[in-house]
Amino acid sequence: MDNLKVSISRQLMRYVLLSWIALIFIFPLIFMIVSSLKPDLQLLRDSSSFRAFLPVGDISFNNYIEAFDRAPIFLFIGNSIFITATTIILSMFACSLAAFSFVFLEWKGKGVILSIILSTLIVPFEAIAIPLLLIVNFLPWVSVDGISIGWLNSYQVQIIPFIADAITIYLFVQYFKDLPKELVEAAHVDGASWFRIYSKIILPLSGPIFATAAILKFLAMYNNQFLWPIMVAQEEQFRPVMVGLLYFFQLNVAWGEVMAYLSIITIPVLAFYISMQKAFVASVANTGIKG
Amino acid sequence: MGNNKLFKSQQRTGWLMAAPATLLIFFFLVLPFLMAFGFSLTNQRIFSPNPTEFVGLHNFKNMLSVHFLTVEAEKDETGAFKLDNNGNYQFPKTRKFTRNNPDYPHLNKTREWMKFDVGKTKKFYVLARDLIFMKALTITILFVLITAPLQAGIALLLAMLINQPLRGINIYRTIYFMPVVISMVVVSVLWKFIYDGENGLLNALLHFFSVGYFEPVDWLGQTDTALGAIIAMSIWQGVGFHMIIWLAGLQTIPVDHYEVARLEGANKWQTFSNVTWPGLRNTAILVMVIITMQAFTLFPQVAVMTRGGPLDSTQSLVFQMVERGYGKQDIAGGSTISVFLFLFVLSISLFQRYITREKIHG
Amino acid sequence: MANVKLTDIYKKYGTTEVVHGVNLSIHSGEFVVFVGPSGCGKSTLLRMVAGLEEITSGTIEIGDEIVNDIVPAERGVAMVFQSYALYPHMTVFENMAFGLKMAKVKKPEIEKRVHEAAEVLQISSYLDRLPKQLSGGQRQRVAIGRAIVRNPKVFLFDEPLSNLDAALRVQTRIEIAKLHSQLSATMIYVTHDQVEAMTLADKIVVLNKGIIEQVGSPIELYNSPKNKFVAEFIGSPKMNIIELEGNDKVSINNLQIPTHTSKIGVRPEHISLADNSSSMLSGTIRHIENLGEHLLCYINTVSTQEITAKIDVKSKVDLNQSVYLNWNPEFSHYFNSNDQTIK
């Protein structure tokens, strides 16, 4: 009987510890969401007490309505989704195709190219932002209106430079390396062409790594696109969600609306994360193991 | 010699398949990077009436130039030290030496960075020509030195905590990882409010938990707390990521190792140091490398919350890079920092690789 | 079915040469086993025939056609891999049909051929299952079925039984032998296990460090090995080798030893216990293993060389017992100082 008691109280202590830590990680989020429902004055007042976490007082969705007036939120979200989704899809194919050729084919120069690609891991994006800006200023683009020069204020400028990256390629390379080479050889003897082997043998077996790479890419594109869009997407029409934040800091800052906007752009991601948290966690774990 | 026709098709197909990604990386990563190298050797500005000149390593020299100066207290005609009304020694201002002083040409345009007293009659100055860069460099290094081990260590502790077979442990894992999926920009804005000196949530909470003992602090507005505040927030956002990596590493340690330790009567610390830690070696290397590289690119937090202040106490290399290159249109200046950062991080990575290399067992 | 001819085959990886001039003729319908220790080049040769490895120099002909520059799928070969290499995400049917699909064979024809092959191998009831739902032996049969379906000119087997447990190995071995007689197919089979070689082969090719040591039928290799390597490789337990050179203490009586002999070989199964007068070699028993059907005695001879003798299980023998040994002189093998057999 005593043993049981000790172990229960031990367990309880563990839960208490875990819960305190959980609070530390979650309190800003609760604060953000709850605050978004309060008018500014109350928000400021409540944040010096525990009422900051409680949806009490003058609760409404007013801040959200005001936020939609202040900034074209649907446009921004739509832009972000479009840019993120397009980049992810194109990236998965370009990078997995390249990784396939690095792992399964023998060709001169592949060692050099792979080394160069991997060495770009050290280069932070900010380091190349300015020269990249100059480059995209001179690139041509074909559209229904004909050929134009310069990619500023467009979707492609926010998508194309980010399709290929060293991390995605590295993840695919490590995963493909672990697949049994005999599968590829058997497919060869069966008469499959290289592209057939890629599409009919390797791709169907790569579900997990596609999920991992896609999730990491999603986080990078949706969450971290900040500096670059500010630099290249000055027209409102093309701006993504993080840049939209600036709209709420011009002239007077209405913190209620800020919280509302933060909630609008963050809650979907959180919901997505919670529903797929196994996949998210597996993504990072995979990266760790492959590293 | 040989039968190469069969395998020549691999050459063509290989190139073809790798081409899209390779070309993209070349044009949008490698090329701009090479351009940055090029710009760092010029005085290029985005819009400039004057043609661009090649200046070689001039930019680097300027940026990294540091000098030392010892100054003695002022003496009068008799050679004795002059004293002012309060009985203190008097020292000449540094600008005497740094503004067009023909005796000290190398100190021209430098600014005071650090100051030390040597006894009562001498002062020792460290002068830098690009003072803000030096501050950015030291603060970035400080940020890395503090954040990296702290974040890695806390992540490991959390991982070990989560690695228990408790019911509902996954809920906690989900919560600890949550900040990772939130944009650093969002996190910065949110915490800017939390850190606020007057209405900030943090002050309110600390006040409550210290039963009124704690006085509100303007976390982001004071030079001695701003960097710490950013560090704390950065760790809050990022620790979940590395917790998962540690967790994956912990779970690859074979269970029988733990069983052997238990049979041999090892206590918690012994088990950790003899079973857990050795099994985590590779994971540890990975975590440290990632954290270090990430920490060097300190940017969004600074850009959103402090813009380098107060009084340059939260300057960072990348922030300066963007300020100069984009803000001030000084491409050469921005590129110089880029190149420096790249080389610096590269050497650190190589060094890390070196000290963690597999030692050949004799 | 086709014949296969290897002429002056060399294989280099970078600067390392691993196959040094192999010449071999395989007749149509023959079951040929490449056997040898790890690294001898047997798998490399097989893969060169398959088209999975580049041929550094020399030619390979299948059905009198030089195939050096022809892709594997068009050489008319089918291969069974050691790890079966079944496509994990496809059913058994799809696995077997894949090669035919790639060759753009029409659906009804594919159905027919897959079902026929499945019949032969008795896997018809598994056609809808995924490989992970099958046992090792079943997967092996699917792998063989995949090869049969393609109606190849030559079947290639790369250590197909290595991943099976002992009992399954024997069973599958028999099935492969039956398959061979059913299809009268040309088969090239690689293994490191000399028992498989002895039981399956029409012709054995013994390889060592990239060269062919000997080619012959199992009986030929057993009775008349051309050199010490082949003599020791074929037969289990290994043939005893008695060193004569530089060894004054060894004395073999009652045996006429040809000149230039530096080593004598005799198989454990040919040695029997004798009495003093007819003894050829004497020694002390150091270790006895009782295998139920016979005894294995490990005997230290006077010159401390160890001899293994396979004797009747009812023999009265004890540890440390002194024994006399002899054998039928016809079963002696004599090797010169270059380890070649003296006729």
In angstroms, the CA C323 to CA C274 distance is 8
In this structure, the answer to whether residues B120 and B184 fall within a common structural domain is no
User: Which residue is it, tokens 């990604």?
Assistant: B21
CATH superfamily of C240-335: Nucleic acid-binding proteins (2.40.50.140)
Give the CATH number for residue B227: 1.10.3720.10
Question: What pTM did the predictor assign?
Answer: 0.86
Nearest chain B residue to C71 by CA distance is B6
Nearest chain B residue to C9 by CA distance is B2
Q: Which among B1, B5, B6 has the least Cβ separation from residue C57? A: B1
In this structure, the answer to whether residues B155 and B303 fall within a common structural domain is yes
Amino acid in the structure at residue B43: N
Q: Which among C78, C86, C88 has the least Cβ separation from residue A189? A: C78
B11 touches chain C (CB under 8 A): no
Q: Does C102 contact A186 at a Cβ distance shorter than 8 Å?
A: no
**B293 chain-A contacts, CB cut-off 8 A:** 121-122
- Joined together, the tokens standing for residue A234 give 């000055």
- Joined together, the tokens standing for residue A144 give 């229904």
Q: Which of B129, B147, B174 is the last residue of a domain?
A: B129
In this structure, the answer to whether residues B82 and B194 fall within a common structural domain is no
Of residues A249 and C213, the one with the higher pLDDT is C213
**A15 chain-B contacts, CB cut-off 8 A:** 166
**C68 chain-B contacts, CB cut-off 8 A:** 3, 6
Give the residue numbers spanning the domain of B238.
132-355
In this structure, the answer to whether residues B124 and B143 fall within a common structural domain is no
Count structural domains, chain B. Answer: 2
Of residues A4 and A84, the one with the higher pLDDT is A84
Instruction: Please check whether residue B107 lies inside any domain of the structure.
Output: yes
Q: How far is A77 from chain B (nearest CA, A)?
A: 14
What are phi and psi for residue C78, nearest 5 degrees?
-135, 145
Average pLDDT, chain C: 90
Chains with at least 3 CB pairs less than 8 angstroms from chain C:
A, B
Q: Does A126 contact B297 at a Cβ distance shorter than 8 Å?
A: yes
Q: What angle do CA A243, A248, A254 make, to 5 degrees?
A: 160
Intrachain domains C4-228 and C240-335 with the same fold = no
What is the pLDDT confidence band of residue A6, given thresholds at 50, 70 and 90? low
Q: How far is C68 from chain A (nearest CA, A)?
A: 15
Q: Does C79 contact A189 at a Cβ distance shorter than 8 Å?
A: yes
Instruction: Please check whether residue B22 lies inside any domain of the structure.
Output: no
Flag the least confident range among A40-54, B87-101, C70-84. Answer: B87-101
Residues 6+ apart with CB under 8 A from B173: A281, B162, B244, B247
C98-153: pLDDT as tens digits: 999 998 999 999 999 999 999 988 899 989 999 999 998 899 999 999 999 988 99
Q: How far is A188 from chain B (nearest CA, A)?
A: 12
Give the CATH number of domain C4-228; options: 1.20.58.1000, 3.40.50.300, 3.30.565.10, 3.90.1570.10: 3.40.50.300
In this structure, the answer to whether residues B81 and B136 fall within a common structural domain is no
Instruction: Please check whether residue B6 lies inside any domain of the structure.
Output: no
Q: Does A164 contact B331 at a Cβ distance shorter than 8 Å?
A: no
Q: Are C301 and C281 in contact (CB under 8 A)?
A: yes
Nearest chain B residue to C12 by CA distance is B2
Q: Which among B13, B321, B342 has the least Cβ separation from residue A105? A: B13
Q: Mutation test of the interface with chain C: which of B5, B6, B9, choosing the one with the most C Cβ atoms within 10 A?
A: B6
In this structure, the answer to whether residues B261 and B342 fall within a common structural domain is yes
Q: Using a pLDDT cut of 70, give the percent of chain A over it.
A: 97
**C89 chain-A contacts, CB cut-off 8 A:** 204-205
B327-336: pLDDT as tens digits: 888 888 888 9
Q: Which among B201, B248, B342 has the least Cβ separation from residue A288? A: B248
Q: Does C85 contact A196 at a Cβ distance shorter than 8 Å?
A: no
Q: Does B349 contact A122 at a Cβ distance shorter than 8 Å?
A: yes
In this structure, the answer to whether residues B140 and B118 fall within a common structural domain is no
In this structure, the answer to whether residues B100 and B157 fall within a common structural domain is no
Contacts with B, C 26-65, CB within 8 Å: 51, 54-57
In angstroms, the CA B124 to CA B115 distance is 6
In angstroms, the CA C118 to CA B168 distance is 49
A177-220: pLDDT as tens digits: 989 999 999 999 998 999 999 999 999 999 989 988 999 899 88
Residues A269-276 have a mean pLDDT of 89
Interface of C with A (CB under 8 A): 50-52, 71-74, 77-79, 81-83, 85-89, 98-99, 102-103, 146, 150
Q: Which among C56, C57, C69 has the least Cβ separation from residue B6? A: C69
In this structure, the answer to whether residues B122 and B195 fall within a common structural domain is no
Q: What is the pLDDT of residue B98?
A: 79
Burial of A284 from C-beta contacts in 10 A (0-12 / 13-18 / 19+): buried
Q: Are A30 and A22 in contact (CB under 8 A)?
A: no
Residue A289 confidence (pLDDT) above 80? no
In this structure, the answer to whether residues B140 and B211 fall within a common structural domain is yes
Residue C250 confidence (pLDDT) above 70? no
- Half-sphere exposure for C148 (CA within 13 Å, toward CB): 24
Instruction: Please check whether residue B9 lies inside any domain of the structure.
Output: no
| Ranges of each domain in chain C | 4-228, 240-335
Q: Map residue C333 onto helix, strand or coil.
A: strand
Nearest chain C residue to B10 by CA distance is C71
Nearest chain A residue to C148 by CA distance is A190
Q: In the A/C pair of chains, how many CB contacts fall below 8 A?
A: 55
Instruction: Please check whether residue B173 lies inside any domain of the structure.
Output: yes
Q: How far is A107 from chain B (nearest CA, A)?
A: 4
In this structure, the answer to whether residues B102 and B237 fall within a common structural domain is no
* Cα-based torsion angle of the residue sequence A9, A13, A16, A21 in order, rounded to the nearest 10 degrees: -160
Q: Which among C56, C57, C71 has the least Cβ separation from residue B6? A: C71
What structural domains does chain A harbor?
A: 73-250 (1.10.3720.10)
Residues of chain B with pLDDT under 70: 1-6, 47, 358-362
* Cα-based torsion angle of the residue sequence C213, C217, C222, C228 in order, rounded to the nearest 10 degrees: -10
Instruction: Please check whether residue B36 lies inside any domain of the structure.
Output: no
Nearest chain A residue to C150 by CA distance is A190
**Helix, strand, coil in percent for chain B, rounding step 5:** 60, 10, 30
Q: What is the pLDDT of residue B361?
A: 46
Q: What is the pLDDT of residue A5?
A: 57
Instruction: Please check whether residue B37 lies inside any domain of the structure.
Output: no
Nearest chain C residue to A205 by CA distance is C89
Q: Does B183 contact A266 at a Cβ distance shorter than 8 Å?
A: yes
Rounded to two decimals, the ipTM of the complex is 0.88
In this structure, the answer to whether residues B223 and B153 fall within a common structural domain is yes
What Rg, from alpha-carbon coordinates, does chain A have?
24
Instruction: Please check whether residue B39 lies inside any domain of the structure.
Output: no
Flag the least confident range among A137-146, B129-138, B172-181, C41-50. Answer: A137-146
Nearest chain A residue to C52 by CA distance is A185
Q: Does B6 contact C68 at a Cβ distance shorter than 8 Å?
A: yes
